[in-house]
Structure 1
Amino acid sequence: MITIDRVSKTKGRTRILYDVSFEARPGRVTGFLGPNGAGKTSTLRVLLGLDRADGGTALVCGRRYRDLDRPLTRVGALLDGSGAHRARTARAHLRWMAASNGLPGSRVDEVLEVVGLTADARKRAGRFSLGMSRRLGLATALLGDPEVLILDEPINGLDPSGIRWMRTFLRERAAQGRTVLLSSHLMGELAETADDVVVIDKGRVVVSGSLAEVTGDHRTLEDAFFALTATSAPDGAAW
Structure 2
Amino acid sequence: MITIDRVSKRKGRARVLHDVTFEARPGRVTGFLGQNGAGKTSTLRVLLGLDRPEHGSALVCGRPYRELDRPLTVVGALLDGSGAHRARTARAHLRWVAVSNGLPVSRADEVLEVVGLAGDARKRAGRYSLGMSRRLGLATALLGDPAVLVLDEPVNGLDPAGIRWMREFLRDRAAGGGTVLLSSHLMGELAEIADDVVVIHQGRILVQGGLAEVTGDHATLEDAFLALTATAGAPW
Taking structure 2 as the reference length, the TM-score comes to 0.98
SS of 1:6's equivalent? strand
Q: Which residue of 2 aligns with 1:20?
A: 20
What is the rounded CA distance, in whole Å, between the counterparts of 2:70 and 2:93 in structure 1? 17
Q: Which residue of 2 aligns with 1:179?
A: 179
What is the rounded CA distance, in whole Å, between the counterparts of 2:234 and 2:96 in structure 1? 47
What is the rounded CA distance, in whole Å, between the counterparts of 1:210 and 1:175 in structure 2? 16
Q: Which runs of 5+ in 1 are unaligned?
A: none
SS of 1:113's equivalent? helix
When the two structures are aligned, how many residues end up with a matched partner? 236
Amino acid at match of 2:119: A
Q: Which residue of 2 aligns with 1:76?
A: 76
Equivalences for 1:54-133 in 2 at 5 Å? 54-133=54-133
Cα RMSD, aligned residues only: 1.0
Q: Which residue of 2 aligns with 1:190?
A: 190
Compute the displacement of 1:100 (Å): 1.0
Q: Which residue of 2 aligns with 1:48?
A: 48
For residues 156-181 of structure 1, give each alpha carbon's deviation from its aligned partner in whole angstroms, at most 9, with x where no partner exists: 00000000000000000000000000
For residues 180-200 of structure 1, give each alpha carbon's deviation from its aligned partner in whole angstroms, at most 9, with x where no partner exists: 000000000000000000000
SS of 1:63's equivalent? coil
Q: Which residue of 2 aligns with 1:141?
A: 141
Compute the displacement of 1:33 (Å): 0.2
SS of 1:26's equivalent? coil
What is the rounded CA distance, in whole Å, between the counterparts of 1:61 and 1:26 in structure 2? 10
Q: Which residue of 2 aligns with 1:161?
A: 161
Compute the displacement of 1:232 (Å): 2.8
- The structure 1 segments of at least 4 consecutive aligned residues displaced by more than 3 Å after TM superposition are none
Q: Which residue of 1 aligns with 2:224?
A: 224
Does the 8 A contact of 2:7 with 2:18 survive in 1? Answer: yes
What is the rounded CA distance, in whole Å, between the counterparts of 1:185 and 1:60 in structure 2? 23
What is the rounded CA distance, in whole Å, between the counterparts of 2:232 and 2:176 in structure 1? 36
What is the rounded CA distance, in whole Å, between the counterparts of 2:3 and 2:179 in structure 1? 11
Amino acid at match of 1:175: A
Identity fraction in percent: 82
Q: Which residue of 2 aligns with 1:36?
A: 36
What is the rounded CA distance, in whole Å, between the counterparts of 2:42 and 2:30 in structure 1? 17
Q: Which residue of 2 aligns with 1:206?
A: 206
Does the 8 A contact of 2:202 with 2:234 survive in 1? Answer: no
What is the rounded CA distance, in whole Å, between the counterparts of 2:72 and 2:16 in structure 1? 28
Does the 8 A contact of 2:41 with 2:152 survive in 1? Answer: yes
SS of 2:226's equivalent? helix
SS of 1:229's equivalent? helix
